Amino acid sequence: MCPYSAISQVGIGTVTPDQSAILDISSTTGGLLLPRMNETQRDGISNPSIGLLIYLIEGNQQCLQVYNGTSWENIYCPTTNTVPSATNVSVSGTLNVSEIITAAYAYQDAESDIEDVSLYQWYRSDDASGTNEIAITGATSLNYTVSVTDDGKYLSFGVTPIAVTGALTGMEVKSNYVGAVGVVSNATARINEFHYDNAGTDVNEFVEIRISGNLGSQPADLSQYTVSLYNGSDQSFYLTVTLDSLTQTCDASNCYYVWDSIAIQNGAPDGIALSGPSGLVEFVSYEGTFTAGNGIASGVLSVNVGVFESSTTNANGAIEKSLAGVWSVSANSNTKGTENSL
């Protein structure tokens, strides 16, 4: 029983308007065109109905607008402003562990919208093609300190330019991958020679550190290498220095850093430790062994060089490490600042 039926539909371009529509406009060649007007014309509409739609064109601004009963609201305003872009994204600096590298880029915006705080991100990959790329956690500044994890890897910097005004966020642009990152390896540095005891008053005492490679391939930041002298009786270091404050002499294969004019304890035992950017390189001792209680070798048991000097040692003598890494008391004069004689 349904005495009243008020179903009435209009179809334009269709004779079967959709059941859910009071008006069904069907076309694949034309659109629905709303009244287009400027603000003055819009505001001239008397008693606009709630839900009334117009397309506002006012100067450079265009908006699809609806009347909500009290005012006109924007539904959508197409923008002609374009997002900013980044170009010339590059990375500079020494690609070694512990070095700080820096990114640079040029910010551009067609409408001269000025730059807001753009987003930065450093990436690590296995090769220059970006294989297995990952975003490095926390690496979101222009500068990045190369970490041990980056050893042998490639790095890239990405910037997502952001504008203060207009269309805000552009596309991320990445630099080329740079690398591979090299380690200023601890393995290339070693305690190379020292002299601590001789006949009569101790003289010419020194420690020589050797880092492989000629002058051009030495670590950029020698302050990351520390030498400490340890006292075996209390397991504490009593003298320490960084390589940047020592005299450097180089040949084609190595550079030598001589810590001269120091008083080195005569055992037994006492020790010498060397640390680099990646931590302790080695901790050697003479006339016995002990575990360092503090400093760069803290908690590490020393390696006895196995040879020693005494009150009969020549004043110009030294204990030298051979090319093969074997410690010996040299029968020759010391070779401070030059290749060892053994």
The distance of closest approach from Cβ of residue 166 to Ca ion in the complex, given in angstroms and rounded to an integer, is 4
The distance of closest approach from Cβ of residue 60 to Ca ion in the complex, given in angstroms and rounded to an integer, is 13
How far is it, in rounded angstroms, from Cα 227 to Cα 280?
A: 10
How far is it, in rounded angstroms, from Cα 163 to Cα 117?
A: 8
Residue of the chain from 85, 94, 236, 266 that contacts Ca ion (CB under 5 A): 266
Say what the alpha-carbon torsion angle 225, 300, 342, 320 is, to the nearest 10 degrees: 70
264 sits near Ca ion (criterion: CB under 5 A):
yes
Per CB under 5 A, which of residues 311..330 are in contact with Ca ion?
none
The distance of closest approach from Cβ of residue 61 to Ca ion in the complex, given in angstroms and rounded to an integer, is 15
Residue of the chain from 120, 194, 196, 308 that contacts Ca ion (CB under 5 A): 196
Residue of the chain from 179, 269, 335, 342 that contacts Ca ion (CB under 5 A): 335
Per CB under 5 A, which of residues 63..82 are in contact with Ca ion?
81
Is the CB of 107 or the CB of 122 nearer to Ca ion? Answer: 107
Q: Is the omega angle on the peptide bond into residue 6 within 30 degrees of 0, that is, cis? A: no
Is the CB of 115 or the CB of 151 nearer to Ca ion? Answer: 115
Q: How far is CA 111 from CA 53, 55, 81, 86, 106, in A?
A: 31, 25, 7, 14, 15
Residues in the chain: 342
154 sits near Ca ion (criterion: CB under 5 A):
no
Is the CB of 192 or the CB of 302 nearer to Ca ion? Answer: 192
The distance of closest approach from Cβ of residue 332 to Ca ion in the complex, given in angstroms and rounded to an integer, is 10
319 contacts 197 by C-beta, under 8 angstroms: no
Is the CB of 65 or the CB of 231 nearer to Ca ion? Answer: 231
The distance of closest approach from Cβ of residue 330 to Ca ion in the complex, given in angstroms and rounded to an integer, is 9
- The helix/strand/coil state of 222 is helix
Q: CA angle, corner 185, sides to 321 and 304, nearest 5?
A: 35
Is the CB of 111 or the CB of 234 nearer to Ca ion? Answer: 111
Per CB under 5 A, which of residues 123..142 are in contact with Ca ion?
none
The distance of closest approach from Cβ of residue 46 to Ca ion in the complex, given in angstroms and rounded to an integer, is 39
How far is it, in rounded angstroms, from Cα 124 to Cα 116?
A: 26
270 sits near Ca ion (criterion: CB under 5 A):
no
Tell me the window of 145-153, 262-270, 285-293, 299-307 that interacts with Ca ion (CB under 5 A): 262-270
340 sits near Ca ion (criterion: CB under 5 A):
yes
Per CB under 5 A, which of residues 96..115 are in contact with Ca ion?
109, 111, 113
The distance of closest approach from Cβ of residue 321 to Ca ion in the complex, given in angstroms and rounded to an integer, is 9
Is the CB of 54 or the CB of 227 nearer to Ca ion? Answer: 227
Is the CB of 31 or the CB of 325 nearer to Ca ion? Answer: 325
Buried b (16+ CB within 10 A) or exposed e, 203-226: ebbbbbbbbeeeeeebbebbebbb
The distance of closest approach from Cβ of residue 283 to Ca ion in the complex, given in angstroms and rounded to an integer, is 19
For 129, counting Cβ atoms within 10 Å of its Cβ (0-12 exposed, 13-18 middle, 19+ buried), the class is exposed
Tell me the window of 21-29, 45-53, 185-193, 307-315 that interacts with Ca ion (CB under 5 A): 185-193
Q: How far is CA 313 from CA 41, 55, 195, 258, 335, in A?
A: 107, 100, 10, 20, 16
Say what the alpha-carbon torsion angle 188, 189, 193, 197 is, to the nearest 10 degrees: -150
Residues 6+ apart with CB under 8 A from 154: 124, 125, 126, 127, 128, 130, 177, 178, 179, 180, 181
Query: How distant is the alpha carbon of residue 226 from its chain centre?
Result: 24
Residue of the chain from 202, 270, 287, 309 that contacts Ca ion (CB under 5 A): 202
The distance of closest approach from Cβ of residue 123 to Ca ion in the complex, given in angstroms and rounded to an integer, is 26
Q: What does the binding site for Ca ion look like in residue numbers (CB under 5 A)?
A: 81, 109, 111, 113, 166, 193, 196, 202, 208, 264, 266, 335, 340
